Amino acid sequence: MNRSTETSNPSVGVCCRRGPTQPTLHDNLMERVLDRASLQRAWKQVKANGGAPGIDGMTVEEFPAFARAHWPAIRQALLDGIYQPSCVRRVSIPKPGGRGQRLLGIPIVLDRLICQAIQQVLTPIFDPEFSESSFGFRPRRSAHGALRQVTRFLREGRRMAVDLDLEKFFDRVNHDVLLARVSRKVGDQRLMALIGRYLRAGALAGEIIQATEIGTPQRSPLSPLLVNILLDDLDKELERRRLRFARYADDLLILVKSERAGQRVKASLTRYLTRRLKLVGHEAKSRVCPVHECVFLGITFRGSKLRWSDEAFADFQHRVRKLTGGSWGVSMSYRLSRLAQYLRGWMNDFGISEYYRPVPEIDHWIRRRIRMCYWKQWRWARTKVRNLLALGTHRRQAVMTAISRKSYWHLSKTLATQSGMTNEWLASQGLPSVRDLWIKAHGYA
């Protein structure tokens, strides 16, 4: 297919294909999207994800009442091909560790439901032919699979990495290039047009609606699949060249045996991305280097062993400090539930690290911060003494510690606070052990 076909009317490229390699076109997909069972499954997922309201202010809890009154008309508009998605609400959130801001687009709940239903119908059509080296946002695949694949390549003696960074990838996706690839298998023009309208729906920033002539909204349930559809051409090109790689969404790591080979691969792929996919590589961040100097999905490689990166660990510490900060006016039960949720999620992501040494120290640090939180919450000396005595602390130690004018952080490590707020007591209050989570992640228990 020539370049003009790929970036013009998607249906033209499909009609021009001939021969046994022609992909199967799937028609009448809109009816499958709007099937009752499909919508029920989509709603279950949208409800579980929760999330903030879009521009209409409607919450997930308020949506069922709205749907009962308006869904028949919305469904007919979708079938007729005249439904117009709402623009997303543009918000900025701080990046981990306070490194600037990230722009997100929050769709309304109705559009989340429709996009989730589309994603459920299209995934079985596209996913089976995706590359085995693609791991992001796919059924039964994860970041851990990508990392394990990299370690296998390391054992083959590939010690140089081509680390390609796609500059502002989600904001730079070319709609024509993307839709041309979707149209290879989607023959329902109503669905094709609807996906195009979602891409071009716009974003409300303050009181101004900004056009979205390029890019995909990062909070849409459909965006991860569209990303994989677009980058599947890149995966197939890498496979054609017999390169060893792992890709998770827009994070790509290619392993080669020499720096010379890496520089050659980097230059040719940069040209391919620009000319074929209309994507821009971040020249300052893309590089060829020894694998142990790379960070891939928050993990570094030491030999063939995995460790979480310094940056990922700094983000972890930053988040724990926020959750255990003294100025957060919440109950201890709520604080501990939020902290436990975060620790389990972080260990699900980074527990693959094979570096055990810092794990006990992390547990000690978190327990000390929680003891400090309790100490601040108890506030008055008499309250501190009463609670410490109830927890089994010796009276003299309880009194001397309670009337001390030393810092909260200092007193959280005293004999009185540790003999009262023991590790076992903190666990009974809902604080999980990072050590236990790490052991579980490695299958030792």
Cα 204 versus chain centre, distance: 23
For residues 186 and 386, what is the distance between their CA atoms, to the nearest angstrom?
A: 69
Model confidence band, residue 4 (pLDDT cutoffs 50, 70, 90): very low
Q: What mean pLDDT value characterizes the chain?
A: 89
What is the structure's pLDDT at 18? Answer: 37
Q: What's the CA gap between 213 and 199, in Å, rounded? A: 8
**In this structure, are residues 185 and 24 in contact, taking their beta carbons and an 8 Å threshold?**
yes
* CB count in 10 Å sphere of residue 422: 16
What residues contact 129, with CB distance under 8 A and at least 6 apart? 232
For the segment 375-389, the average pLDDT, to the nearest whole number, is 95
Backbone angles phi, psi at 412, to 5 degrees: -70, -10
The alpha carbon of 354 is separated from its chain's Cα centroid by a whole number of angstroms, namely 22
218-252 pLDDT tens trace: 788 999 999 999 999 999 999 999 999 999 998 99
Q: Is 188:14 a contact under the CB 8 Å cutoff?
A: no
Helix (H), strand (E), coil (C) string for the chain:
CCHHHHCCCHHHHHHHCCCCCCCCCECCHHHHHCCHHHHHHHHHHHHHHCCCCCCCCCCCCCHHHHHHHHHHHHHHHHHHCCCCCCCEEEEEEECHHHCCEEEEEECCHHHHHHHHHHHHHHHHHHHHHCCCCECCCCCCCCHHHHHHHHHHHHHCCCCEEEEECECCHHHHCEHHHHHHHHCCCECCHHHHHHHHHHHCCCEEECCEEECCCECCCCCCCCHHHHHHHHHHHHHHHHHHCCCEEEEECCEEEEEECCHHHHHHHHHHHHHHHHHHCCCCECCCCCEEEEHHHCCECCEEEECCEEEECHHHHHHHHHHHHHHCCCCCCCCHHHHHHHHHHHHHHHHHHHCCCCCCCCHHHHHHHHHHHHHHHHHHHHCCHHHHHHHHHHCCCCHHHHHHHHCCCCCHHHHCCCHHHHHHCCHHHHHHCCCCCHHHHHHHHCCCC
- Do 234 and 245 meet the contact criterion of CB atoms below 8 Å apart? no
- Give the chain's radius of gyration (CA, Å): 26
pTM, two decimals, is 0.84
Residue 95: pLDDT band with limits 50, 70, 90 = low
Say if residue 284 is exposed, middle or buried (CB neighbours under 10 Å; 0-12, 13-18, 19+).
Answer: exposed
Distance CA 132, CA 137 (A): 13
Residue labelled with tokens 């294909």: 17
- Whole-angstrom Cα distance, residue 320 to residue 156? 38
Query: Where residue 434 falls among pLDDT bands split at 50, 70, 90?
Result: very high
Contacts of 247 (CB under 8 A, 6+ apart): 131, 133, 134, 135, 136, 146, 231, 234, 235, 253
| Span 120-134, pLDDT tens digits | 999 999 999 999 999
Distance CA 419, CA 440 (A): 28
Listed range (125-129, 251-255, 279-283, 291-295) with the worst mean pLDDT: 279-283
* Rounded Cα distance, 83 and 210, in Å: 20
Contacts of 238 (CB under 8 A, 6+ apart): 131, 133, 245, 254, 269
Q: Is the pLDDT of residue 92 over 80?
A: no
Tokens of 44: 């279950």
Residue range 296-328, pLDDT digits in tens: 999 999 887 899 999 999 999 999 999 998 777
Q: What does the alpha-carbon distance between residue 42 and residue 283 come to, in Å, rounded to a whole number?
A: 39
Tell me what the mean pLDDT of segment 44-54 comes to: 92
CA distance 253 to 266: 11
Residue pLDDT, tens place only, 146-192: 999 999 999 998 999 998 887 778 888 999 999 999 999 999 999 99
pLDDT band (50, 70, 90) for residue 445 = low
* 412 contacts 372 by C-beta, under 8 angstroms: yes
Can you name the residues that pair with 301 across neighbouring β-strands? 306
Q: Can you tell me the distance from the alpha carbon of 329 to that of 393, in angstroms, rounded to the nearest whole number? A: 27
